């Protein structure tokens, strides 16, 4: 345990107990931005940083603080922490909190609040952030007494990580941080403050067991459908073993990407609106769908009543509210996915180890689909100027195979999901909320959590401008983050939808008017910048990018009307994709 006696005074305040509790919970980094109501906490932070007990990363906008904490958690499997002041500081966090909630990411958000005697008076920068965030947090606290800080922090960290992970908010009035404590002992709260989360294994009847085993043994076209719960619960090993032993192909959601090697012959890549053709064909024709740690999102299912309509469904998830919310399964197991998978896997192995599923012909069909409908077109690299974005992403994939990748939202996100073969916890993107501006601050959080791993942010010209000020954070802390902007001068996905479904009426999606010179902006932040518009120049800059040990931004001028295919139109089944190219 680190020595947390850091001040030349024996006075213990609410702010002191806050930092002591954070360190007791393993916090090493905090992302935030100071302001009036949270100044007592930042004043205390001064001493803790001086003694190297923890490090605060000064973000340029509070939304980015939440995104950075989110990515810190995703890439390290630890709880991310962010600070903001009251009023606009707190409300600026809302988008980042909602992003974490939608993707089940454990973060603890600490906001300053006006002093207790001013609450409810519409004081300067007073905002009821507790009520504002209720729909987008897992739990919220307003601390009214400094003595409650240890118990609250302990509960918050437990809640953020256990059960279905998610964000927890703690609102601390200004004077609570200043209150002196008569007595302070963190340890007495450890055993008394945890909420009771029961991760029950609901496989209670022999009849249910027999039915599940029977469905597996009789299946000729089974399919594993895996979501972000695989990563959040550290169930990757079980999924990989399960898929290999029983020779079941596997498709992942956008959030489940990284849980399985995309180059494996059993891998089908992502399914859904911009998923691979072979994944969408497989889910449309499977006879047994094993849905693990996923929620049947509309971008995955397409027309819901035609999603895996010929299949029996087994759904495993920690959140009972997800069972039958969108698709009613024939069988369901509720609980911690790692625990469930371990027990379920052992049961299957005992009962089916000598009766491998009959998937040989199924895998042959899938192999034919892969050959007929590849994601990457053969002629993509014949273009010399205004590069094809698929070519760019594919070159990055070949050159930077061990990097942590973060993305913003839009066409570049979908191309990255289709073409990057990422490792566990090295694919960070906003899935459920689809937050433009997530990419750059999330690369900061990922780099801080994984300082020695290469970190690459892939963004679009429109998304990048949502959080462009975070170049200042990268510059200040000399973070070796590589940024690749696919610049087509449009809100790319919006333009594609306007072309496909709105009669080519490009209402307010054209971005070239007023588009900045990203290379010059990077240079102004003391970050190396480059602008490329040819294949040869891109290859040169990509090679330099890998060799450099400092931040670099490359703007790649791409085709402005390239569309992201395949695509399942809204209201259509997954098998009715547009833009398919036959190889």
How much of the chain, in percent, has pLDDT values that exceed 70? 89
Q: pLDDT tens digit string along 58-76?
A: 999 999 999 999 999 999 9
Q: Which of 28, 125, 158, 576 is catalytic?
A: 125
- Catalytic site includes residue 174: yes
Q: Is the pLDDT of residue 463 over 70?
A: yes
What the chain holds in terms of domains, given with CATH numbers, is: 14-189 (3.40.50.970), 206-372 (3.40.50.1220), 380-565 (3.40.50.970)
Q: Is the pLDDT of residue 551 over 90?
A: yes
pLDDT band at 576, cuts 50/70/90?
very high
Lowest mean pLDDT among 194-198, 221-225, 237-241, 461-465: 194-198
- CB-based contacts of 307, cutoff 8 Å, min separation 6: 283, 284, 296, 300, 301, 327, 573, 574
Of 341 and 512, the structure prediction assigns the larger pLDDT to 512
- CB-based contacts of 508, cutoff 8 Å, min separation 6: none
pLDDT value of position 9: 46
Q: What is the mean pLDDT of residues 104-125?
A: 96
pLDDT value of position 200: 46
Contact 277, 580 (CB under 8 A): yes
Lowest mean pLDDT among 182-186, 567-571, 574-578: 182-186
Q: What is the mean pLDDT of residues 382-407?
A: 86
- CB-based contacts of 467, cutoff 8 Å, min separation 6: 61, 63, 64, 67, 437, 438, 439, 440, 441
Q: pLDDT tens digit string along 258-268?
A: 999 998 999 99
DSSP state, 547? H
Q: Is the pLDDT of residue 24 over 50?
A: yes
Contact 84, 59 (CB under 8 A): no
Q: What is the mean pLDDT of residues 437-459?
A: 98
- Catalytic site includes residue 62: yes
Q: Which of 493, 511, 567, 577 is catalytic?
A: 493
- Catalytic site includes residue 493: yes
pLDDT value of position 2: 42
Q: Which of 174, 370, 447, 535 is catalytic?
A: 174
Q: Which of 2, 50, 55, 124 is catalytic?
A: 124
pLDDT value of position 375: 85
Q: Which of 19, 24, 44, 62 is catalytic?
A: 62
* Residue with the two structure tokens 């609102």: 171
* Residue with the two structure tokens 């750059």: 440
- Catalytic site includes residue 426: no
Q: pLDDT tens digit string along 151-184?
A: 999 999 999 999 999 999 999 999 999 998 876 6
Q: pLDDT tens digit string along 277-328?
A: 999 999 999 999 999 999 999 999 999 999 999 999 999 999 999 999 999 9
Q: pLDDT tens digit string along 209-231?
A: 677 778 888 899 999 999 999 99
pLDDT band at 478, cuts 50/70/90?
very high
Q: What is the mean pLDDT of residues 438-461?
A: 98
């Amino acid at each position: 345990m680190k020595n947390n006696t850091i001040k030349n005074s024996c006075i213990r305040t609410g702010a002191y107990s806050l930092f002591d509790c954070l360190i007791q919970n393993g916090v090493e980094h905090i992302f935030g931005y100071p302001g009036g109501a949270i100044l007592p906490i930042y004043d205390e932070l001064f001493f803790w940083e001086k003694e190297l007990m923890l490090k605060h990363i000064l973000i340029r906008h509070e939304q980015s603080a939440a995104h950075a904490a989110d990515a810190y958690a995703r890439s390290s499997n630890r709880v991310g922490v962010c600070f903001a002041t009251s009023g606009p500081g707190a409300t600026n966090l809302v988008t980042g909190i909602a992003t974490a909630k939608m993707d089940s990411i454990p973060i603890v958000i600490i906001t300053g609040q006006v002093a207790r005697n001013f609450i409810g008076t519409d004081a300067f920068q007073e905002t009821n952030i507790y009520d504002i965030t209720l729909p987008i947090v897992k739990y919220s606290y307003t601390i009214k007494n400094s003595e409650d800080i240890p118990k609250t922090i302990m509960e918050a960290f437990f809640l953020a990580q256990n059960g279905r992970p998610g964000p927890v908010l703690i609102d601390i009035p200004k004077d609570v941080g200043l209150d002196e404590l008569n007595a302070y002992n963190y340890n007495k709260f450890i055993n008394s403050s945890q909420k009771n989360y029961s991760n029950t294994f609901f496989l209670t009847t022999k009849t249910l067991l027999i039915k599940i085993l029977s469905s597996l043994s009789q299946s000729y076209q089974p399919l594993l459908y895996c979501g972000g719960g695989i990563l959040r619960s550290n169930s990757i090993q079980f999924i990989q073993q399960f898929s290999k032993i029983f020779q079941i192909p596997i498709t992942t959601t956008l959030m489940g990407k990284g849980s399985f090697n995309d180059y494996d012959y059993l891998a089908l890549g992502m399914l859904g609106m911009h998923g691979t053709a072979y994944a969408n064909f497989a889910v449309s024709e499977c006879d047994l769908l094993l849905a693990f740690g996923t929620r049947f999102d509309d971008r995955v299912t397409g027309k819901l009543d035609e999603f895996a309509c010929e299949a029996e469904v087994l759904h495993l998830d920690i959140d009972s509210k997800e069972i039958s919310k969108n698709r009613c399964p024939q069988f369901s197991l509720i609980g911690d996915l790692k625990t469930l998978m371990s027990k379920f896997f052992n049961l299957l192995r005992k009962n089916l180890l000598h009766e491998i599923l009959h998937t040989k012909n199924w895998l042959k069909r899938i192999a034919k689909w892969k050959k007929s409908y590849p994601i990457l077109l053969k002629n993509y690299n014949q273009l010399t100027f205004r590069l094809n974005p698929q070519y760019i992403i594919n070159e990055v994939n070949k050159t930077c195979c061990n990097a942590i990748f973060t993305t913003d939202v839009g066409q570049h996100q979908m191309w990255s999901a289709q073409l990057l073969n990422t490792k566990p916890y090295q694919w960070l993107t906003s899935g459920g909320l689809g937050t433009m501006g997530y990419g750059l601050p999330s690369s900061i959080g990922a780099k801080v959590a994984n300082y020695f791993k290469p970190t690459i942010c892939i963004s679009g010209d429109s998304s990048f401008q949502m959080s462009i000020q975070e170049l200042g954070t990268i510059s200040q802390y000399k973070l070796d983050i590589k940024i690749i902007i696919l610049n087509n001068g449009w809100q790319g996905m919006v333009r594609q939808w306007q072309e496909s479904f709105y009669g080519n009426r490009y209402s307010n999606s054209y971005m070239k008017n007023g588009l900045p010179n990203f290379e010059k902006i990077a240079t102004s932040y003391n970050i190396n910048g480059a602008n490329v518009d040819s294949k040869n120049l891109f290859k040169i800059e990509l090679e330099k990018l890998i060799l450099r040990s400092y931040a670099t931004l490359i703007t790649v001028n791409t085709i402005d009307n390239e569309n992201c295919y395949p695509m399942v139109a809204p209201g259509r089944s997954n098998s009715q994709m547009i833009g398919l190219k036959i190889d």
